[in-house]
Structure 1
């Protein structure tokens, strides 16, 4: 079993940085390309339960967010975040690092090293 799971988007430089940092730290990593293998409802709820950030932080606020007609009030609760990410998996923040019962969003990049260094 891997030490850390990284929910990864290979097109994202911050996500690539997290993967590289894990390799440099000698961390055994499981990589999940969440756009190729989107999380289901149960996995999203489990992730949100581990996330050290507020649930709404898991949703990117990029042009696709606005194009989908979403507002802050649409991602205020766990149920809403799950519904949005089930419908729009591309809106999930990346990278997300998971170790045991803890998870973080690897933004800014500096968060990654601290997370990898903490068992």
Structure 2
């Protein structure tokens, strides 16, 4: 099953959703700002992305700049920051079984669907 972690207010996320819709594949939409992700959810997604938690952070978000930038944080602390401040999570994320990509640029989604 394909899942897109989506923020409807984000242009890049909307572009990723459109690409999935045009693919004709069945997929699920998770509006992660409403349906909040747990630490375990994030750890699973990060593992499928094969990245470090810091690579999933939107470093230009004001919350990151004011509360976290420049601090020495463990992976666990970074994941907790994303759980507590979901706007920090890069988007869109598309997961297809055991594979995942951050859909920036949106064409990266084609690699896993």
Given the two structures, how large is their TM-score scaled by the length of structure 1? 0.83
CA contact (8 A) 1:53 1:105 kept: no
Q: Partner residue of 1:67?
A: 66
- Aligned pair count reads 112
Q: Match of 2:5, SS?
A: strand
Q: Distance in 2 between matches of 1:95 and 1:72?
A: 26
Where structure 1 has 5 or more consecutive residues not aligned to the other structure, the ranges are: none
Q: Gapped runs of 5+ residues in structure 2? A: none
Aligned-residue RMSD, C-alpha: 1.7
1:71 is paired with a residue of what secondary structure? Answer: coil
Q: CA deviation at 1:12?
A: 0.6
Moved more, 3-12 or 57-66: 57-66
Scaled by the length of structure 2, the TM-score of the pair is: 0.87
Per-residue deviation, 1:71? 3.0
